[in-house]
Structure 1
Amino acid sequence: MLADLRSWAPDLWAGVQLTVLLTLGGMAIALVLGLLLALARLSPRRALRWPATVFVEVIRGSPLILQLFYIYYVLPLLGLRLTPIQAGLAGLAINYGAYLSEVFRAGIAAIPRSQSEAAAALGLRPRQAMRLVILPQAIRIVVPPVGNYFVSMFKDTALVSTISIAELMFRGQLIASDTFKYMSIYTVVFLIYLVISIPASLGVRWLEHRLDPARVRPAAPAPA
């Protein structure tokens, strides 16, 4: 078994690196897309609100694997050809961007209206109030759920193996098909996902605890 692990290690390590890069890149794009969609859905302008709403509902109503297939296999028929890496990043970013938009929208909506009114009283325009007053407070609220989606994206990168991206799952499949040691290789891949995702999940829980509003409330005075 140890000899097998030594021979598999270079391929699996390359797969882990690509998986992490896909996760980081996909989440970075998804965060920007999710925030833009959330702002569009909160806009009083129908020309922004309705298309954003339709986009989010369509993406959330279809499976990620189908979106990956559509981007990689269907879009070239319409003249847009992407490499597997580009298609994988686009699929992950679009899918998670739609879900993160709801997280951002909920976070912004959770900020009391009095904050906007106070900003207006100070002479701030709506855009300035959103950027300087509302969003900084909303970010504190949305960080824990965003962290959970980050861990979920790391695991969902396994789906991009279906469009020939040689990430961790794809590398494991290749090794298994060459060696026929399905139990050993898939157990190793399983453990690699756990070794990375469990500490990440614990980190998200720690961050959620640190950002819990209850922790920053002043303690009640002791009874006389």
Structure 2
Amino acid sequence: MSLDLVFDYLVSPVFLRGALMTLLITVCSLFFGVLTGLVIALVQETRSKAGNMVVLVYLWLFRGTPVLFQIIFIYNVLPSFGIRFTAFTSAVLALSLNEGAYMAEILRSGLQAVKKGQRTAGLALGMTGAQVMRLVVLPQAARIVLPPIGNQMIGMLKLSALVSVVAVEELLLVANQVASANFRYFEALTAAGLYYLALTTVFMVLQGMMERSLDPKRRRVGSRTPTLMERLTGSMVRASVR
């Protein structure tokens, strides 16, 4: 193993572009996945028979087939019907639709966790149904669903490696291409693994900061800034205390 070569890979523009592409795919897919999941969860709240039937088919389709199958289908099969997307768009679309199916269940559970009495109280105060949802239900549901959404974000980061099958130059594909030129797979994959660990660490820190900002009890406990280790292990510590 050559540590110098690992360092060269870490600072090389090729690996940096691959890491940025991985990050871009993750953020875009998660953003559109959350939006899709929120729409589905709200449709389920309306208890519309037609809407729930569409949602049921969507969940059955995207939870019942592999993500890799969905990526290949959108990129290779849809063009035969006259629907063409770039490799990047196909990757983000497939990951977003797949993520939306799982986000819908997470968000639905968060919405249902808010007691119905609070909705009734909001309506009694003269709020409309949309205002109750926006001002009363969603802020409380956000605090409940943030930990599983954080886990989904890390999972999405790792799933992004699958888009290499449609030649999107994300981190793992870049590492494999570089290693295939000189057969130094250990160094190239080590550099890619360090990038993945760095990105997941950033996500975990951001999740811990967001959980703290949304938890009113934690906001009242002093003003000391938590250390990095406290942010990384905050979820596990809180679980053990409970």
Match of 1:44 among 27, 44, 47: 47
Q: Where do residues 1-224 of structure 1 align in structure 2 (5 Å cutoff)?
A: 1=2, 2-3=4-5, 5-6=7-8, 9-205=12-208, 207-208=210-211, 211=214, 215=218
Instruction: Check conservation: 2:38, 2:103, Cα contact below 8 A.
Output: yes
Identity %: 34
Deviations, residues 84-106 of structure 1 (Å, cap 9, x unaligned): 00001101111111111111100
Q: Tell me the matched-pair count.
A: 218
Instruction: Check conservation: 1:107, 1:142, Cα contact below 8 A.
Output: yes
Gaps of 5+ in 2: 222-242
Partner letter of residue 107 of structure 2? F
Residue 235 of structure 2 is matched in structure 1 by none
Bigger mean CA offset, 7-16 vs 29-38: 7-16
State the 1:57 CA deviation: 2.6
State the 1:187 CA deviation: 1.7
State the 1:34 CA deviation: 0.9
Partner letter of residue 55 of structure 2? A
Bigger mean CA offset, 203-212 vs 60-69: 203-212
State the 1:127 CA deviation: 2.5
Bigger mean CA offset, 156-165 vs 206-215: 206-215
Superposed structure 1 runs of 4+ greater than 6 Å apart: none
Q: TM-score, normalised by structure 1?
A: 0.88
State the 1:216 CA deviation: 7.5
Structure 1 pair 71/60, CA: closer, same or farther in 2 (3 Å)?
A: same
Q: TM-score, normalised by structure 2?
A: 0.82
Partner letter of residue 204 of structure 1? Q
Give the superposed CA RMSD.
2.2
Distance in 2 between the 1:68 and 1:182 partners?
26
Distance in 2 between the 1:7 and 1:34 partners?
37
